[in-house]
Amino acid sequence: MTSDLQRIQSLPTWLIGRVAASGRGMVADAIAAEGLKLMHHAVLAATADYGPVTQADLGRRLAVDPKDMVGILNHLQAKGLVLRAPHPSDGRKNAVTVTPDGAAVLARCAALAEAANAELLAPLTRDEQKQLMALLTRLHEAADTPA
């Protein structure tokens, strides 16, 4: 007979959540070596991709509260990873850009995150890893598609 807890633990949502939490923890531990948390890493990456970018735009793109974004950017700027300066097209706003040190940290974090993900997927064969990624991508795309 299956218990209520066993039923819950056999749900795809439960399993995906547990694996995701483990993976997030592994990546968080890895990038902590660079003095960053997951959201610092995401903001640094978004700044590199979209910069120069306003703080408000970064917040919208990453769904981060403006007050939280200020704290994250203060941390990144104190470490010399980003620079805030008047926006080229609107001097009333700050534009955020990645510094050369920030780009170097971002590259190291990418390598650390890839290594953590490789460790997470290590129990699977190379073909199983590719299959898992294809299936997760399909689920992700389906979830993002309006009904």
Beta-carbon count within 10 A of 55 CB: 21
Look at the block and give the residue holding tokens 């890893």: 129
Q: What is the pLDDT of residue 144?
A: 79
Q: Tell me the β-bridge partners of 98.
A: 82
Q: Tens digit of pLDDT for each residue in 107-129?
A: 999 999 999 999 999 999 999 99
What digits encode the pLDDT tens for the residues 18-70?
999 999 999 999 999 999 999 999 999 999 999 899 999 999 999 999 999 99
Give me the domains of the chain, ranges plus CATH numbers: 33-116 (1.10.10.10)
pTM: 0.84
**Any long-range contacts for 35-42 (C-beta under 8 Å, 24+ apart)?**
35/79, 36/105, 36/109, 39/64, 39/68, 39/72, 40/72, 40/75, 40/76, 41/106, 41/109, 41/113
